[in-house]
Amino acid sequence: MDFRHLGNSGLVVSEIAYGNWITHGSQVEEETAVACVRAALDAGVTTFDTADVYALGKAEEVLGRALKGERRDGLEIFSKVFWPMGEGRNDRGLSRKHVIRGVEDSLRRLGTDYLDLYQAHRFDYTTPLEETMRAFEDLVRQGKVLYVGVSEWRAEEIERALRIADEMGFDRIVSNQPQYNMLWRVIESEVVPVCEREGIGQIVWSPIAGGMLTGKYKVGRPAPSGSRAAEPEAGRFLRDLTEDEKLLSRVARLEPLAAEAGLSMAQLAVAWVLRNPNVSAAIVGASRPEQVRDNVGATGVKLDDDLVARVDEILGDSVQRDPALTRSPENIRA
C-alpha cells in the first residue's frame, strides 16, 4: 500500500481508503461487512471513512465492531455530519447543537474516543458558517477530532471557510470529499485549483462510478444480481448511467486499455483517480472481500499519458465537467 499526506497536513493516510456507504448496515450482512474490512486491513488499508447518516448510524456501528481489537493509533477513522438523523428540527445541518451531538453519537457508535477527521457532509445555508467553524474548533481543542474537512463543498464555500479560520485563529480545513471519477470531473476546473493553492487534499468517493466503470453493466442486459444498480435504494443513484446505451458502449471500449496495462477495469478506474496530485485518497466500497482485493491492486500504479489521452478520447462528451453540478440543499430544515 502506498501512503500520502492528507493535503498539506501532517496526517498520512493510505491512498486507497475503505468506505461503507450503502453497504454496511443495509446492503450486506454484518458477517460479510466484517470480512470486507478484514480484507482491507490485510491489504494494508489504514484509512476508513463512514458517516452518521449511513444506514442511520448502523454503518458506524458495524465499522466499529469490525475494527475492534485493532491498534487505534495505526488507523485513520473518518466520519461526517450534516444530514437528518431524526425528526427534530435540530437533528440535521451544521448548527453547533447538531455538530456537537453528532460527534458524541459517532464516537459512541464507532467505539473510539476520537476521530482522525470529522467532515461537514454538505454546506449548510441555514447556519452561520462562523458558528459551524467554532463548533469544529472546539472539538479539535477537546481532542475529540484531530482534523476537520468538508464534503461536496463548492470552491467559494471552501474559500469562505478558510477566510473565517484565518480571521478567527481556527485550525483550517485540510480536506474535501467530492465525487470524482473518469465520468464525473466537476471538481477539476474550480475546486481543485483552490485546494491546490490552499493545501487541501481530495478524499474522493465513487472512483469506479458505483461500479459503472468495472464494465459489469452491459447494453441490453439487466443489472447483475447483487450489484448496486439492482438494489432499489442504491440503484436510483446509477439509473441514468446504466440505462445510457452510448455510455455503456464507450465504457466497454475501455476494457482493452485495462488489459493492455495489465489491470482490471476497477483498477484502471482507481489508478486514473490517483494520478491527480491533489487526490490524497480514493475511497472504495465493497459487498464482497474479493472486490476489496481487486480495487487495492491499483495502489502504486502509474498510468502513462498516452493511455490517459485514449481514455479521454473514448469517453468524449459523456464526461460531466460543470462545476455547478456540485451543490448542497438550500434548506435542510424545510
Catalytically annotated residues: 54
For 70-130, the DSSP string reads: S-GGG-EEEEEE-S--SSSTTSSTT-HHHHHHHHHHHHHHHT-S-EEEEEESS--TTS-HH
| Exposure on the CB side of residue 229, measured as CA atoms within 13 A | 21
- Beta strands (DSSP E) in the chain are 3-5, 12-14, 16-19, 47-49, 76-81, 115-120, 145-150, 175-176, 201-204, 279-284
Residues 6+ apart with CB under 8 A from 256: none
Number of H helices, E strands in the chain: 13, 10
Cell of 174: 485540510
